[in-house]
Amino acid sequence: MVTTTGSPLHVSVPDAVSAPPALSLVVPTFNEAANIDELLSRICAALPKDLPVEVLFVDDSTDNTPEVIADAALRCAVPVAVHHRAEAKGGLGGAVVEGIARTTAPWVVVMDADLQHPPQLVPELIGCGEQSGAELVVASRYADGGSRGGLAGTYRRLVSGSSTALAKAVFPRVLRGISDPMSGFFAIRRTAVDRGLRGEGLRPLGYKILLELAVRCRPNGIAELPYEFSERFAGESKSTLREGLRFLRHLVLLRCSDARARMVVFGLIGASGFLPNLALLWLLIHGTGMHYVPAEVIANQAGLFWNFLLMDSLVYQNHRRHRSRPLRFLNFAVLGNVDLVARIPLLALLVTTLGIGPVTATAISLVLVFALRYLIVDRLLYLKRSADPALGS
């Protein structure tokens, strides 16, 4: 029996299934109609008959994929549901998090719908987790015995390899036990996900959801199973340059979720702001003959604007919902000019008493007030954003 209620399509649970599910299989989809029949056929063939399972498709499609899922589910022995999202919030990662929130089993397996992930490995992922006690089991293309042969062309192999290397370089300790942090095929215990939700929450961006879960949930115990990454069954890859840029942005946001790392990035961005500040200062002093004090007041605005754009877009993207961007900039500018007032006497002391040049003295004063500015921006200007029930933060 298939019923439609509001926006999401729901395929009801077969009457024969009465036990609570031991496994929730979450499959995000975007225009995958041509793959659904074969995928559900392989899933039904792969899952043990005595394993209570629920299958949830979380769909962001613009084609008829939800209807195809509902039709194919009538021929499937396991309970299948599809939730079509009106807004594709967080991309594929957001779809997975919503799917986890809508399911109940102690184990969650995430896989793609394009059949590059072999459904017959699903029971093995759970079995490996139960046997080892790991909270996360990753199907890896890079573990011994695995293969990434399904990646089409040298370009995609290069992107996959470089993304993996970059992620492991940015998170060497967290990803130490994961050879394939870009994998979209894995099993995770709900206890680990719940721990991530109780912390800072899950804030997926794009399609690399395993990286998000590994960093924010910090699973106790990680295991891997090698697998051969197959060619796509039908349709086109969703991997684009835009998704690659979202991955880089996500990597920065994840790294900046740690206060110590955030301070380092804050400092690097602050240091980069020296360039427009000092360049304009030099131009005003040497190009127009302006006195160094008013020249620094004007030049400081250039550095503030540069720093705000980078910090607001990268470091504090997940902490900015409570204020509009113009208001955030106004507060940031006020803060920057308040510490400018504090720096001017110091600047005058360095120039008139110690005989240091105005440009060099300005650079020294900027470094000295850095720590105070960071604490005020981090703790006061960007308060932790309000809860998002859909994504857990």
230 and 118 Cβ atoms separated by less than 8 Å: yes
Taking the CA atoms of residue 120, residue 197, residue 251 and residue 380 in that order, the dihedral angle to the nearest 10 degrees is 170
242 and 215 Cβ atoms separated by less than 8 Å: no
Phi and psi torsions of 316, nearest 5°: -115, 25
Longest CA span, the chain: 88
How many Cβ atoms sit within 10 Å of the Cβ of residue 168? Answer: 17
Tell me, yes or no, whether 111 lies in a domain: yes
Percentage above 90 pLDDT, the chain: 30
271 and 222 within one domain: no
Pick 169 or 340 by higher pLDDT: 169
How many Cβ atoms sit within 10 Å of the Cβ of residue 247? Answer: 20
315 and 174 within one domain: no
271 and 228 within one domain: no
205 and 334 within one domain: no
Tell me, yes or no, whether 153 lies in a domain: yes
215 and 291 within one domain: no
Q: How far apart are the first and last CA of the chain?
A: 35
pLDDT at 173: 86
Res 27 pLDDT > 60? yes
Res 15 pLDDT > 90? no
349 and 295 within one domain: yes
Res 271 pLDDT > 80? no
221 and 182 Cβ atoms separated by less than 8 Å: no
Distances (CA, A) of 173 to 167, 176, 198: 11, 5, 22
Q: Which two tokens stand for residue 26?
A: 């979450």
Prediction pTM value: 0.66
Q: Which two tokens stand for residue 256?
A: 């900046």
pLDDT at 320: 53
Res 158 pLDDT > 90? no
pLDDT at 29: 93
Res 392 pLDDT > 60? no
The parent domain of residue 195 ranges over: 2-236
Tell me, yes or no, whether 247 lies in a domain: no
pLDDT at 368: 75
pLDDT digits (tens, 9 = 90+) for 292-335: 888 888 888 888 888 888 878 766 665 555 567 788 888 888 87
Tell me, yes or no, whether 243 lies in a domain: no
- Kindly indicate the confidence band of residue 224, based on its pLDDT and cuts at 50, 70 and 90: very high
- Bridge partners, 4 (sequence order): 9
Task: Decide: residue 89, CB within 10 A, 0-12 exposed, 13-18 middle, 19+ buried.
Answer: middle
Q: In what order do the strands lie in the sheet with 222-226?
A: 80-84, 53-59, 23-29, 107-110, 186-189, 136-140, 222-226
Phi and psi torsions of 213, nearest 5°: -65, -40
Once rounded to an integer, what is the mean pLDDT over residues 209-234?
86
pLDDT at 156: 67
300 and 170 within one domain: no
Exposure of 277 in the CB half-sphere (CA atoms within 13 A): 28
271 and 216 within one domain: no
pLDDT at 106: 95
Q: Which two tokens stand for residue 381?
A: 């200007």
307 and 361 within one domain: yes
224 and 264 within one domain: no
pLDDT at 25: 96
Pairing of strands 186-189, 136-140: antiparallel
Tell me, yes or no, whether 50 lies in a domain: yes
CA angle 290, 296, 299 (to 5 degrees): 100
Give, for 53, the enclosing helix (H) or strand (E): strand 53-59
Q: What is the CATH number of the domain that holds 7?
A: 3.90.550.10
Size (the chain), residues = 393
Number of domains within the chain: 2
Tell me, yes or no, whether 267 lies in a domain: yes
pLDDT digits (tens, 9 = 90+) for 282-297: 999 998 999 888 888 8
How many Cβ atoms sit within 10 Å of the Cβ of residue 255? Answer: 17
28 and 92 Cβ atoms separated by less than 8 Å: yes
Res 133 pLDDT > 80? yes
pLDDT at 37: 93
Res 386 pLDDT > 50? no
| Distance from the Cα of residue 11 to its chain's centroid | 30
